[in-house]
Structure 1
């Protein structure tokens, strides 16, 4: 049951919650607001509707206002004449999926089919396709923001609850007027048949919208299509904007991961190796992977008790922002792990619940160097766990990597997560500083008098190993850039 909950938590967090957080709160890879002082955008979802959309088009025409309609494909297919009228009167048509269903509840291939089917309807009626897309309820998944296929995802900067008739036209107009300013992207609805909406609500929206258009005309504000507002923003964007967006994205992902980690630690009872500045958290777990020949004829088998390690994302990000290169990051990480492995050994030895542990185990993309500490590197078996681990770790490394996601694209084949394993008695042979420790197999490890010489003699070897890693990595970097 715990394993099932773990998988559900992993998938929902990285497929849905974090992408929604970074897009809705910080606008990563979505358009939410323009830069214009005198232009704003009216956007309408869920139509076309045979009752309310014609009235809306009449109202917009009266004020010479242009708008953007994110249509639901199944409605557009039923009312092609309204789709054609939108196009003929100069409005922009975008996609709102073929049926009004959340992208969280659909596979990536299903979302793509929804978009393609709706675009086919638009193209058949108007003779033109569209690159503008708004997912239902503004909810995106991981694949929406990681691979947009040239589409521009449009959200909004203000919404008003106009899908509820109980708000009333007067209160709705007051809400809308408070947000009337240049650059605003307003979310409204010209159809009341969507789940959670009231059938007659668009009538209040039309009354409130007329009041807004009158006031906008008095203030010399003009309603334009989203693509017009987007072009204004692109033209005024400074050359440093892309770096700024990336910085916002990094900070947002770290924020999301910290929230995720807190919940993850509570749910699965992970404990820090140190109270402060810990590099990893740990818990007792049961191994479910393929059999691993660790060393000296010893095997890690399915069902064996292991200590499962999880790197602290906050410290990884802090190291990544100060590292001069990926090699520098790896060196810092190896040094910190080496300093904290004695703490891990102490915690395992001091905890009766850790009796019978056979190995310590983790999954990581930093798999050049851990073998110098006594870890063994093994390939992850093909399957769902490898796919999910790869997606998550690549997303993580696109943030903490000193060179950003560009380096990941250049060395995509090399950025593969691997299993790192260390037999429990090897941990105590190398890193235990204290009274003798006995494994469940009856083997005794080095006592405190022998541990210090082992650790001190390893300093020179580790320094040489790190230099070897540096030279090898630099040589690889040189080959990749030549």
Structure 2
């Protein structure tokens, strides 16, 4: 009997207590706090409540603040009009199980069903699914670590016992004001009908919250949704290089110098390098472009390579993908006219038939005059795909995260431009290059970010 009890203790510790310690103390595999100085996150559990939630929404609207509501599915099912209003007024909706029951007391399959049922209710009401989950009392089990729910687990950095009415509005206000700072994720409750809560407790919470929102407004602070806070956190981390990332970038840029020396690459604008190139015979199969131009095996081409140091610097300084895209457009525009003049003026380029590069993008370069074509399948395509994905993870400001987005775009493509098009569009003696009219709209943001790693270090 003693041995059985001991085994039950070990099992329960492994299933529940240890995961609880890892999440609540160390923040393992959960989001519980952001960064920044002027933004915090208000989160509300256990609703919606037909009396208190509409009053809360009125208060948030008055101060132009956004919040995140973790809904109990059975409550949402009874009050769809309140759920619809939460969604309509721009707040984020998360899941708080179908019934307010601890995950320690449920099997993994039961937790998963609770989350799915609640998500289905939210989808039926709002037309959108939720990818955010807060387990009741913040209690997780072992299988929640394995993404049993399929959602991102959200906890908190401060809570105030506001589910008890005896705390009173004054003491609650003091506690909240003490935690009013950037990056804070505040846990509050807009419903008092769950086990252990007082039915009238949200009344005290609303009084205290109005005072806190007024103080936040005076300090120039605002409450934002959890997904917005997470997005800002992700961008901040992307701009901060870890020691390992610094080493990777340094080694990669060293390799690029060696590659340039071995293959004698020339630089279009040495004072501000962006495009590098080399003349070489085209080694692929015959390519027929949309305008009827043909590129045969053995034809002379200029193989383009982008300057990865410059691209990394652009990515590191860019505050967004749009800004990165615009900087990329300007950098390419600056170099193509100089390259066109080189082709016109230098005798060794008189037999060049066109420009050639390998890229990860699927559209965008067309506005520069390039034709985008699939890379023929084979060993070269496979090795190029591997190389460019590795380069993308090192150079792109979003790093590995970019590899998990838009997988349909992550295929190497050939960029081709007939030399006549290069000269006609870009040579100063012919036609000056005109900036695209809709830079950010025409170039999809992630795709222009991928242009930063467009050319492979192998030839056809």
TM-score normalised by L of structure 1: 0.49
**CA distances 1:284-325 after superposition (whole Å, capped 9, x unpaired):** xxxxxxxxxxxxxxxxxxxxxxxxxxxxxxxxxxxxxxxxxx
Query: Counterparts of 2:243 and 2:152 in 1: how far apart (Å)?
Result: 16
Cα offset, 1:4, TM superposition: 1.7
Q: Equivalent residue of 1:186, what SS?
A: strand
Shift of 1:145: 1.3
Q: Which moved more, 1:227-236 or 1:145-154?
A: 145-154
Equivalences for residues 396-435 of structure 1 within 5 A: none
Unaligned runs of 5+ in 2: 246-460
State the partner residue of 1:47: 47
Q: Is the Cα–Cα contact under 8 Å of residues 108 and 148 in structure 2 kept in the other structure?
A: no
Q: CA deviation at 1:241?
A: 6.5
Any conservation in 1 of the 2:158–2:184 contact (CA below 8 Å)? yes
Runs ≥4 in structure 1, deviation > 4 angstroms? Answer: 238-244
1:111 and 1:242, CA in 2 relative to 1: closer, same or farther beyond 3 A? farther
In the TM superposition, what are the counterparts of 1:233-244 in structure 2 within 5 Å? 233-238=233-238
Deviations 1:16-44 (A, max 9, x none): 00000000001000000001211100000
Query: Runs of 5+ in structure 1 lacking a partner?
Result: 245-482
After TM superposition, the structure 1 = structure 2 runs for residues 471-482 of structure 1, keeping only pairs within 5 Å, are none
Structure 1 residue 64: deviation in Å? 0.6
CA distance, structure 1, for counterparts of residue 113 and residue 7 of structure 2:
26
Number of residues of Structure 1 aligned to a counterpart in Structure 2? 244
Which residue is 1:87 aligned to? 87
- Partners of 1:184 and 1:241 lie apart in 2 by 24
Whole-angstrom CA distance in 1 between matches of 2:23 and 2:169:
30
The alpha carbon displacement at 1:2 in A equals 1.8
Secondary structure of 1:41's counterpart equals strand
Output the CA distance in 1 between the equivalents of 2:124 and 2:150.
20
How far apart in 2 are the matches of 1:100 and 1:88? 25
Matched, 1:18 2:30: no
1:104–1:217 distance in 2 versus 1, CA, 3 Å:
same
SS in 2 for 1:26: coil
Contact 1:36–1:229 at 8 Å: present in 2 too?
no
* Residues 118-133 of structure 1 aligned to structure 2 (within 5 Å): 118-133=118-133
CA deviation profile, 1:234-286 (whole Å, cap 9, x unmatched) = 11115667999xxxxxxxxxxxxxxxxxxxxxxxxxxxxxxxxxxxxxxxxxx
The answer to whether the 8 Å contact 2:115/2:149 transfers is no
Give 1:372-383 correspondences, 5 Å limit.
none
8 Å CA contact 1:70–1:134 kept in 2: the answer is: yes
Task: Find the counterpart in structure 1 of residue 139 from structure 2.
Answer: 139
Quote the offset at 1:148 in angstroms: 4.6
Tell me if 1:214 matches 2:220.
no
Indicate whether 1:189 and 2:189 are aligned.
yes
Q: Distance in 2 between matches of 1:12 and 1:188?
A: 29
Alpha-carbon distance change, 149 to 51 in structure 1, aligned in 2, over 3 angstroms: closer
Query: What's the counterpart of residue 205 of structure 2?
Result: 205
Over aligned residues, Cα RMSD in angstroms?
1.6
Please report how far the alpha carbon of residue 7 of structure 1 lies from its aligned counterpart in structure 2 after TM superposition. 2.2
In the superposition, relative to structure 1, how do residues 40 and 148 fare at CA in structure 2: closer, same or farther (>3 Å)? farther
8 Å contact 1:44–1:188 — kept in the other structure? yes
